Structure 1
Amino acid sequence: MLSDLGKTLDVAREDRALLDEACRLTDRLADSLVTNGFARHFVPTRWGGGAGTFTALLDAVSLLAETCASTAWCAARYAAHGRLAAYLPEDGQQEVWGDGPDVCVAASVVPPQGSAVPVDGGWRLTGRWRMASGVDQADWVLLASWAPADGDASADGDAPGGATEHRIFAVRRSEVKVLPTWRPVGMRGTGSNTVEADVLVPGHLSFSLRDLARVQPHAARCHTVPFPLVAALIFAAPVLGAAEGALRSWWDEQAARTLPDNAVAAQQQVLARASAHIQCARLLLERAAQRADHAVVTPVLVAENQRDVVVAVELCGAAVDEIFRTAGSRALDEDDALQRHWRDITTARAHGTLKFAPAAAHYADALRTARAAEGAR
C-alpha cells in the first residue's frame, strides 16, 4: 500500500505553501498519509495492521520526501510510533486499535520530560513535551517521563532509593493541549509543536523503555528488533529523499543554462560528486533497512546500523550544501525548490538521533567489547 503514493504526492505538491505558512500538515494531507497506510504500517496484524518492513518504509518515505520532506517526516513518524505503541500491554493495544489500525500516533519520548507520579490504577502525568511531530492530526500521543521504577513509590511520590526509569505513556490527543511553538527555518510543515498535559493515565496505557528490548511471542520481525537498530534509520529516510529532490531540482535548472566553457567542467564535477554521495547514502540506508528486516542482530550490527545511517545523512548534507552554493542567486528565493530542500535537510540534521559523535563512540565501544569477548574464548 505504501507504494501507491500518487495522490499523496499530488496533495503534498499542492499544499506545500500552506504547510510553510501554517507550520503543520493540512488535514487532507494527513488523511492521505493514513489512506496510504503509513499509520498502520507497523501495527500488529492481529489489529489489522501491516507489520511491515523497514525497507518498504524507507522506499516510500524517501520518495515522498523528494516532493515534501515535512510530509515524509510525519509519514515516517506515524509509522514508527505505531511500532512503539505495539509494546503497550494487550489491554492498551486494544484501546488504541480496537476500532481499526488506521490510528495516527504522535510522540515526544526522547528525552523524557514532564512528571509522572504513581497513583491508584496508573499514573498522574503533568508537564510539557517539546517537538511532537504531526500532533495536530494525531489520535494518540506517546509522552515520556522519568518515573519511579516499577511504579513503586513512597507517599511523597519518590521511588525507594531514588530508582527511576524512562517510561512512556499513551494519551488521547483530545486530552492534551497543543501549543503552537513550531516556527523553524526548515521542516516547517511537520507541526512539531509542544504538548501540555495534566492527565491520569491507566496502567495499561504505559510501558518502560526497557520493554522495547523484550521479544514478543510469535511477533513479526519489525516487533523483535531492538529500538537502537532502527531509530535513526527512520529519521534519515526523509533526508535521503530531500537530497535526491534537491539534486534533481538543481540539475533541471543547470541543464537548461548555457555556460561558458570554463564553467562547464566545474558544473560537471559538482554533478558527479553530489550524485555519487547521494547514491552512496542510499546504499548505506538500504543496507541498514535490510539488516533490520533480515539479519541476525548483534551489538556490533546495531552499532554498524547507527554508523551507516549517520554517515549517510552526512553525505546527503554535504552534497546538498555543495549544490546549493553553486546554484546562484535563484536559490535565494524562499519559494525555490532547492532552497526548500536545503532548509529541510539542514533542520533535520540537527536532530540528536542523527549526530555522528555518539554513533562513532557506540561503534568503537561495540567493536572493543566484541574483540574482548573473542579474546576471552
Structure 2
Amino acid sequence: MSPGAGRTALVTASSVVSKVAAAHAAEADAARGPVTTVVDAVVEAGFARHMVPAAHGGAAGGFGELVRAVAEVGRGCASAAWFASLCAAVGRMAAYLPAEGRAEVWADGPDAVLVGGLLPAGTAEPVAGGWRLSGRWPYVSGVAVADWALLCGKTAEETPSAKFFAVPKGTFEIIDTWHTVGMRGTGSHSLALEDVFVPAHRALDTADLMAGTAPDAAAACHSVPLKAANGITLAAPALGAGSAVLTRWSDLLSAKLAKQGQTVISGPVDRTGIDLTFARSAGEIDLAELLLTRVAEVADSGAVPPELVARNQRDCALAVELLSGAVDRLFRSAGSTAQDEGDVLARGWRDVAGIAGHSGLQFTAGATAYARLVLSGG
C-alpha cells in the first residue's frame, strides 16, 4: 500500500490485527478456523461494525477504507483477512433487513459477528408470522465464532423467491467439513438447521440486495447493488497475501544474491531472471491494487449503473487472476526454502490459489457479463 494512504481508523487498526494474525497463522491453519485472539482483534479494530448503519452504532463506512484495511491484515494472514472482510460484508447485507430485524441483530451493539450462507441451499415454508427454515449451507466462513448467520433460501410459495434469513447462534448445527489446501484458517464449515422459525422481520428479499435498495438507507454503502461490491470483499485478502509473498521472496532472493560468488550445484545465480521475475510480479500486484481501488471508488459512489456493476465484477476477477499468476511465479522461483509448509511464501501460495478458485472470482463469468452488456449497447 502507498505510505500514508487512507490512514483512517480502521486502516490504522488493521496494522495491529495484521501482526496478531501473523503470530497466530500457523495455529489457525492447524485449527482450521479463526482463533479467539484473532477474532477479538478483528472485532476490536472495527471490521464487524464497519458497514453497520450509524443508527445501530456502526460506522457505515466505505469500500476504499475496507480494501486497504483487509489487504493490510492479509499481509499477516489471508485467512484472518477473509474473516475480517466477510464480517464487514455480511454486516452490510444485514442492513437490508426490516427495522425490527436490524434492531434485533444489533441489540447488543454493532460488533455482533455475522457470517453468511450465500448459496440458496435452504427451503423456507411460509407460516403465521414468518417462515420455517431448513437446509444445509456449505462454506460458511467463521461459522464457529458467529453471533448470527444470514442464510439464503428459496421460499416454498406459489411463486418461489430467494430470501435471506437471519438466525442466531444456538439455532443451527456446525458440521466439520473444511479440510482444504488453502485458506485453512477461515473455518468455512457447513451449517445445518431443521424447521427453525424465523419471524418475518428477520427476512429480506434477495432482489433488494441485488438492486441495492436498503430500507432507510442513509449511507452510500447501503445503496450499492450486491454484484458491484461482493467481489471486492473476496479479492482484498489476496492483495495483502500477494504483497506478503513478494516481500518474503525479495528477502530470500536478496540472501541468495549475497552468496552469488559461491559455487552451487545449480550454477551461478541468474540475475537477469531474478530481476525480470521481481519486476513483472511486483507490477502485476500493483495492477491488481489499482483495479481494486477503482472498484472501491465505484462502489463508494452509492447507486451504480449496470455497466459499472459488470465492470466491477470483471475487475475483481482480473485482479485475482493477476495476483494468482504473480504469486505462482514467485513461488516457483524461490527455491527449496519456500517449500516449507510453514513458510510465509508457501502459505501465501496456497491461500491465493484458494481465493482464486472461489466461484465469485471466475474471470469468464465477469468478463462475459461485462462484454455482453457493453457490446449490446446496454
TM-score of Structure 1 vs Structure 2, range by shorter chain: over 0.9
Partners of 2:50 and 2:167 in 1: CA distance:
20
- Selected match of 1:17 from 5, 17, 26: 26
Find out whether 1:278 has 2:274 as its counterpart: no
Q: CA deviation at 1:10?
A: 2.7
Q: CA deviation at 1:207?
A: 0.8
Partners of 1:10 and 1:312 in 2: CA distance:
25
Find out whether 1:306 has 2:302 as its counterpart: no
Residue 132 of structure 2 is matched in structure 1 by 124
Residue 208 of structure 2 is matched in structure 1 by 211
Find out whether 1:176 has 2:172 as its counterpart: yes
- Tell me the amino acid that sits aligned with residue 317 of structure 1: S
SS at match of 1:64: helix
- Tell me the amino acid that sits aligned with residue 201 of structure 2: H
Find out whether 1:140 has 2:148 as its counterpart: yes
For this pair of structures, how many residues does the alignment match? 358
Partners of 1:6 and 1:295 in 2: CA distance:
28
| Contact map agreement 1:216 1:224 (CA 8 A) in 2 | no
Q: CA deviation at 1:296?
A: 6.1
Residue 155 of structure 1 is matched in structure 2 by none
- Tell me the amino acid that sits aligned with residue 221 of structure 1: A
Residue 358 of structure 1 is matched in structure 2 by 365
Gap runs ≥5 in structure 2:
1-8, 261-266
1:31-50, aligned counterparts within 5 Å? 31-50=40-59
RMSD of aligned residue pairs (Cα, Å): 1.4
SS at match of 1:256: helix
Residue 251 of structure 2 is matched in structure 1 by 252
Residue 197 of structure 2 is matched in structure 1 by 200
Cα distance change of structure 1 residues 322 and 11 upon mapping to structure 2, 3 Å threshold: same
Residue 164 of structure 1 is matched in structure 2 by 160
Find out whether 1:71 has 2:68 as its counterpart: no
- Selected match of 1:348 from 343, 352, 355: 355
Q: Deviations over 1:112-134 (max 9, x none)?
A: 00221111111111121101101
Q: Which runs of 4+ in 1 moved over 6 A?
A: none
Deviates more, 1:244-253 or 1:3-12: 3-12
Partners of 1:333 and 1:309 in 2: CA distance:
30
Residue 338 of structure 2 is matched in structure 1 by 331
| Contact map agreement 2:144 2:174 (CA 8 A) in 1 | yes
Partners of 1:30 and 1:174 in 2: CA distance:
19
SS at match of 2:51: coil
Residue 264 of structure 2 is matched in structure 1 by none
Find out whether 1:114 has 2:110 as its counterpart: no
Partners of 1:218 and 1:125 in 2: CA distance:
27
Q: Deviations over 1:27-51 (max 9, x none)?
A: 1211111100000000000001000
- Selected match of 1:8 from 6, 9, 17: 17
Partners of 1:334 and 1:343 in 2: CA distance:
10
TM-score norm. by structure 2 comes to: 0.92
Gap runs ≥5 in structure 1:
149-158
SS at match of 2:10: coil
Partners of 1:209 and 1:294 in 2: CA distance:
21
| Contact map agreement 2:217 2:223 (CA 8 A) in 1 | no
- Tell me the amino acid that sits aligned with residue 178 of structure 2: W
Partners of 1:193 and 1:211 in 2: CA distance:
27
| Contact map agreement 2:224 2:303 (CA 8 A) in 1 | no
Q: Percent identity?
A: 42
Residue 3 of structure 2 is matched in structure 1 by none
SS at match of 2:124: strand
- Tell me the amino acid that sits aligned with residue 315 of structure 1: L
Q: Deviations over 1:173-205 (max 9, x none)?
A: 121111121111010000001011121111111
